[in-house]
């Protein structure tokens, strides 16, 4: 894993969209992109955050990291 | 004006987080199609949303949040999953289904041998 980590390219990380302040129809639309049915609003926000976090994990954020300057 | 951009190494995400569910639904769709049953379209639609879902699912029940996944499909997936675990033994447990999912605390993964 460690060697793999250094081979990955450094890319810009998209900031997380402001799901918490999105309107219900917008949340539904976002979730639809991921094949998820409309849910209670709070649950939609949580699910979108979960998806975003899962698909935007940063390698160097956990343990022994050398962040290049 | 651009906000300061964060840079980092993005951890690769599995392109197919639920390979077993995709496999089973495909099998069921094809079986239904062979028999000329209308349920083939139900499975087809379910496959469509499953393929767009990026997170690993831990059970058929959890798949109920997906579009076109009704009670029947979820139950059938759970039954199939149980059979799969029994066949594979406890070791294969969950990882095989979902691919490694980070920061998830243990599901009960004991299968009868």
Lowest mean pLDDT among A13-17, A25-29, A34-38, A42-46: A13-17
* pLDDT tens string A12-31: 888 899 999 999 999 999 99
d(CA B101, CA B13): 10
Does residue B34 register a pLDDT over 60? Answer: yes
Please give, rounded to a whole number of angstroms, the shortest distance from the CA of A26 to a CA of chain B.
Answer: 17
Residue A3 has a pLDDT of 55
Residue A61 has a pLDDT of 47
> What kind and span of H or E run contains B7?
strand B6-9
Nearest 5 degrees, angle CA A61-CA A67-CA B3?
80
Say yes or no for a CB contact (<8 Å) between B52 and A10. no
Q: Report CA Rg, chain B.
A: 17
Tell how strand A10-13 and strand B6-9 pair up: antiparallel
Please give, rounded to a whole number of angstroms, the shortest distance from the CA of B94 to a CA of chain A.
Answer: 18
Does residue B102 register a pLDDT over 50? Answer: no
d(CA B74, CA B72): 5
d(CA B82, CA A9): 40
Please give, rounded to a whole number of angstroms, the shortest distance from the CA of A68 to a CA of chain B.
Answer: 9
pLDDT band at B69 (very low <50, low <70, confident <90, very high): very high
Q: Tell the burial category of B5 from Cβ atoms under 10 Å away from its Cβ (0-12, 13-18, 19+).
A: exposed
- Decide: B94 and B107 in contact? Cβ < 8 Å: yes
- Decide: B82 and B59 in contact? Cβ < 8 Å: no
- Decide: A22 and B16 in contact? Cβ < 8 Å: no
| Main-chain dihedrals φ then ψ at residue A6, nearest 5 degrees | -80, -15
Computed over every residue of chain B, the mean pLDDT equals: 83
d(CA B26, CA B23): 5
Does residue B46 register a pLDDT over 50? Answer: yes
Mean pLDDT in residue range B32-45: 96
Higher pLDDT, B93 or A60: A60
- Decide: B33 and B40 in contact? Cβ < 8 Å: yes
Higher pLDDT, B32 or B96: B32
- Give residue ranges of A with CB < 8 Å to any B CB: 5, 8-13, 15, 32-37, 39, 47, 50-51, 54-61
């Amino acid at each position: 894993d460690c060697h793999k980590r250094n081979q990955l390219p450094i890319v810009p990380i998209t900031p997380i969209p402001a799901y918490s302040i999105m309107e219900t129809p917008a949340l539904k639309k976002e979730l639809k992109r991921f094949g998820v049915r409309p849910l209670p609003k709070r649950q939609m926000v949580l699910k979108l955050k979960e998806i975003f976090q899962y698909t935007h994990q940063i390698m160097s954020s956990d343990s022994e990291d050398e962040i290049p300057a | 004006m651009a906000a300061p951009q964060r840079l980092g190494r993005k951890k690769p995400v599995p392109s197919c987080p639920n390979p077993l569910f995709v496999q089973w639904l495909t099998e069921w769709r094809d079986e239904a199609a062979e028999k000329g049953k209308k349920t083939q379209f139900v499975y087809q639609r379910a496959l469509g949303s499953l393929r767009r879902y990026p997170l690993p699912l831990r059970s058929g029940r959890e798949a109920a949040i997906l579009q076109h996944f009704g009670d029947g499909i979820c139950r059938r997936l759970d039954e199939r999953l149980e059979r799969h675990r029994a066949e594979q033994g406890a070791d294969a447990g969950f990882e095989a289904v979902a691919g490694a999912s980070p920061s998830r605390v243990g599901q009960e993964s004991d299968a009868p041998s």
